[in-house]
Amino acid sequence: MQHYEKDGRLQHVMLSHQFSIKLMEELFDIADHVKGMTRKPNGIEFLKSLLSHKKAMLYFTQPSTRTFLSFLTACQMVGMDTGEVRDPSLSSEYKGESQEDGVRVFSSYFDLIIMRDPKPGFCEYMAYLLDNTGRSVPIMNGGSGKDQHPTQALLDLYTMHRSFQHKGGISKKRYAFVGDLLRGRAVRSSVMLLSQYKDVEMDFVAPS
C-alpha cells in the first residue's frame, strides 16, 4: 500500500488494507480522547482550533445523507471549512468536460477531498491523477462503487473495540454478518480489518 503513503504516513485513505492493528489501536485511543473532550465546551473549542486553517471538499456525487452529515460534522468538530459538490460538472455553460477535470480544478480550492462516487475505482484513479500533478490533495474514500467503504469499516471496528473492551478485546470471538452482503461494500471493508485479529471466526448470512 506504499503508493497511498507519503513520508511514512497515510496520504490517502482508500482501502481498509491500509489499516494495521497497530494503526487502528492508535486511532481508537485518539477517538476515546476526542469523545471525552467533546463533553466540555473548552474541549470542543480546542478541537475546533486544530484544523481551522484547512478546508475540505465533500465531493458527494453519490448521495447519502447519513455519510454526508457524519463527515460534515466531523470536519466542523476540528474547525475545517467545508464546501459541498453534488454535481460533477464544472459549469452549466460548457459541455464536454471530463469529471476528472472537474475534480482537479475543484481540488485547487481545498486541502482535503472526501469522495463518494458510484463508479468503482474512480476514487483511486483520482488519487493517482492528483499525485501526478504539482499539488496532490489527500483523498478520503467515503464509499466507492461496490468495492470499499474503509471509514465505515473503521467505525464498525471501533464499535467492536468499545463493546469488547472489558471482555478481552476483539480477538478470539465469533462474528456474524447479516444482510445483503453481495452489495455491502462496508461489510467487505470490515471483514478485511477484522481478519487481521487472532482467532476470529466469521459467519455470513445473506439471501441467495
Interacting residues with its own copies (CB under 8 A): 41, 44-45, 48, 52-53, 55, 57, 62-67, 69-70, 72-73, 76, 81, 83, 85, 87, 89-94, 102, 105-106, 109-110, 180, 183
Please report the sign of the dihedral spanned by the C-alpha atoms of residue 160, residue 165, residue 166, residue 167. positive
Q: How far is the CB of 64 from its own copies (least distance, A)?
A: 5
In sequence order, the 6+-apart residues with CB closer than 8 A to the CB of 123 are 14, 115, 117, 139, 141, 144
User: Least distance (Å) from its own copies to the CB of residue 140?
Assistant: 17
What residues are labeled active site?
66-67, 95, 116, 149
**Closest CB 73 distance from its own copies, rounded Å:** 4
Of the pair 46, 172, the CB lying nearest its own copies is at 46
Nearest residue (CB) to its own copies, 2 versus 108: 108
Give CA 167 to chain center in angstroms. 28
> Quick one: cell of 146?
461496490
E strands in the chain: 5-6, 9-10, 55-60, 81-85, 112-117, 139-144, 174-178, 201-205
Residue (44 or 202) nearer to its own copies, CB? 44
Work out how close the CB of 53 gets to its own copies at its nearest, in angstroms, rounded to a whole number: 4
Which residue, 21 or 74, has its beta carbon nearer to its own copies?
A: 74
Query: Nearest Cα to 179, choosing from 207, 150, 141, 154?
Result: 207
